[in-house]
Each structure stands twice: as C-alpha cells, then as structure tokens.
Copies of this chain bind each other. A is one copy, B any other.
Amino acid sequence: MCQLLGMNCNTPTDIVFSFEGFRLRGGLTDSHADGFGIAFFEQHGIRLLQDDKPCARSPVADLVQQYKIKSENVIAHIRKATQGQVSLANTHPFVRELWGEYWAFAHNGHLRGLNKIDGEYFNPVGNTDSENALCYLLENLRQRFRYKPSRDDLFATIAEITKQLRKYGLFNFMLSNGDWLLAHASTLLFYIIRKAPFGEAALVDEDVSIDFSAVTTPHDRVAVVATLPLTCNEKWQQLAVNELVMFSQGEIILRDCEQPAEYLSVAEGLSIARQAGVEM
C-alpha cells in the first residue's frame, strides 16, 4: 500500500510544507521506498514529477522542495509496490486527457479480479491495478458522455462507477482535472481546510513548523488531504468509509456518503490493509 497527499486551493499555493513531511514517509520515517510521483496543475496544464528512487532521497523530490511550484490542485503518491514491478510506467499519478482536460489519478489500496480493460478510449500502459482502474473509470465516463456533463452529473456518475470499482477491494484514491479534487476513502483519508485566521502548524514527521499567517492572505483557502494527518497540532477531519468528496476552491462542494457514516480508527485501517495483503 502507499500514501496519498492532495491539495486544492482557491489561489495558487506551494505544497512545500506538506510535501516535506510527506516525503519523509518515503524511506525515512516509513517504509514506502519504491518511488513517488506528484502532479501539479497549473491552470489546465499539468506538471508530473516522478522518480523510482525513494522519495526521501530523490533529486526529483529535491526539485519539488526547491522550486516551490504554485498550484491550485496537487496529487502526490508514495509507493510501496504490491502489484506490478517498480517502473516508471507503474508510477502514480497516472494522467490521461478526457474532454480536452488532463485528469490525474493516484490510488492507495489493491483491487483484485478486475480484468485488464480493453477500452475504446483508454487503456493502461503499465500493469498496475491502479492505472487499470483509472482507465475503467474514464472509459465509462467517456462511453456515457460525448461531451463534459454538468459538475453534478459528473460527480454522481463518478460516485456510481466508484461503487462498482470498490467491490474489487481497497480503493482510496484522489482524482483531479485541474478544477476540482476528488477524494474517496475505503479506509483512511484525512483532510484539513486552512483559512483565515491562519495559525501555526507543526509536522508530525519532522521537527518543522510554519506560521501560515505569514505566508497567506485573508482570502486564501487551502484544503489538504492525506492518508494520515501530516501535522500534530491541527484538527484533521476524517473521510467516512466509502465516502466520496469533491473539493473546489479550497472547500467541500459535493459529498456522497453512506448512512450511517462509519469511521475507522487508524489501527483498524492499518489492520484491514494488512488483512487484504497490502502494506501501508
């Protein structure tokens, strides 16, 4: 299994602080040592940085830290390979173009028994369950809609396809088209929305803190989503089991959640992952 990190904001923001803690989970504080990838949307363009070196020691990750790329939507992934060999073609996030937009996708979990799709429109290049799931999702969207539908119809359709896919196993994922960020939890996914008045945050993984009030304006709103909370002195919210959430402009605008909502403890989430035969 792997760890996910996402960001959605109302103004281009650099992800350096969150990424700093996150990347240490790639080989130093944690065991996710099989490469990493990060996708930054800059308006509708996309910048994808990936490395098969462990994230904590990757020169590509150094570039992310140094370059302070500002983006409204980011998806990052640290990989512990459980299916498919370690190669660039198997490194998340995966990107495709649909309806004249780039879509980026990263997955944490393991889907068993989903056949490799033979898509009219989308086919996987590598051999991971994750890229196959993205192609399944996009293929179904494109089969359904020749042109991009309304946001509500799109969300409802993605929720429906997600229900089909999660029958195959653990399906924590993030997906973005540069406008919005979708997050879906099978087990563990947490988010925080930072807005004025901004305070200080301290990383869980390293002795580093930041005073957001010094680097923001009062209008900024930034949602950060991660497999596990990245800071130790802020209150992170948890996604319920099988909940799908759409973030736009740094806030939640749509959600699809089973009732009653079920929340796993971190210990339960890790245990379910282990029972499914995947490391986390």
Residues of A near any B CB (own CB < 8 A): 42-50, 59-60, 63, 66-67, 87-91, 95-97, 99-102, 120-126, 146
Contact = CB atoms under 8 A, between A and B. Distances in A.
Contacts of A120: 146
Contact of A125 (B91, B97, B124, B125): B97
Contacts of A47: 50, 88
Nearest to A62: B63
Contacts of A146: 120
A88 B49 CA distance: 14
A12 to B, nearest CB: 12
Contact of A97 (B44, B100, B101, B123): B123
A125 B101 CA distance: 5
Given A59-B63, A60-B63, A63-B63, A44 B126 contact: yes
Closest 4 CB pairs of A and B: A45-B88, A45-B89, A100-B123, A42-B88
Contact of A45 (B42, B45, B99, B126): B126
A77 to B, nearest CB: 15
Contacts of A48: 48
A50 B102 CA distance: 16
B50 A59 contact: no
A181 to B, nearest CB: 18
A149 to B, nearest CB: 15
Contacts of A95: 95
Contact of A89 (B43, B63, B123): B43
Given A44-B89, A44-B126, A97-B125, 4 more contacts: A43-B88, A59-B66, A97-B123, A100-B125
Contact of A87 (B43, B59, B63, B121): B43
B125 A44 contact: yes
Contacts of A121: 121
A122 B100 CA distance: 7
Contacts of A126: 44-45
A60 B66 CA distance: 11
Nearest to A117: B100
A161 to B, nearest CB: 19
Contacts of A90: 45
A66 B58 CA distance: 12
Contacts of A88: 42-43, 45-47
A65 to B, nearest CB: 11
Nearest to A122: B97
A18 to B, nearest CB: 20
Contacts of A66: 59
